[in-house]
Structure 1
């Protein structure tokens, strides 16, 4: 779940289908504007497709299901690899449905590219935050000394907002 991505997509007029882990998170993303919220522990997101765009933070074995779920001319954007680096890709699906697969990360970009992205966010996204149509969710603020606790919480996956490390 990306709470910010859900909200931005809604502001831009998209129909948003998202997967989350657990009924509490289903309720939370519905509050943020998701049209369909699927608990990945009990349901299969492929049943709700086809999708024009899939933003994938999971990777790994989700690749095959993502490709199968895309509509003709659909786009898959992989931004995370939480479930591993390897996935199966049926090239026939890719070719016959005219699909596009993109992968991206900030980590490997140059300072100039990162600065350009920040400028675009400032121009296109920040006004949505300023006018309240997109809210940044903060689950908790912890002192730097509790960084290991912050990591433990993130790995446990029960949070629905950002966990911030702060200097007091």
Structure 2
């Protein structure tokens, strides 16, 4: 985690910003909850427990700054709620997601499956892709198993 925080500090400094106590607490919360895709309010509540004097506006501004620096992405998994997801440091593109429309479970796909498509887009349209986002929506294995089990019970 220290290495990731130092990388983010360098990104901020390169753009003329400092890694203040509030910003560092926000970054730590994101790193510690990387799989959870937290909302601004959830991030704020955790940061506030670490830095009691922080205001929600500071957390909002920090998240927007981190988004501008491409440290995080603001994502919406179809529930109308904006969440924040850390970008992978060593990958030029944002990672993909599998989203269950039944239970809301989200799983990340870290491998970049779209590079061949990007090359084709550039070749055929002369368009340079700078980033992409891919979300698969459907029904996860657990929900499918529950549907099958419920169907079997209702038939019995």
- Name the TM tier (shorter chain): under 0.3
TM-score (norm 1): 0.25
* Structure number with higher helix proportion: 2
* Structure number with higher strand proportion: 1
TM-score (norm 2): 0.27
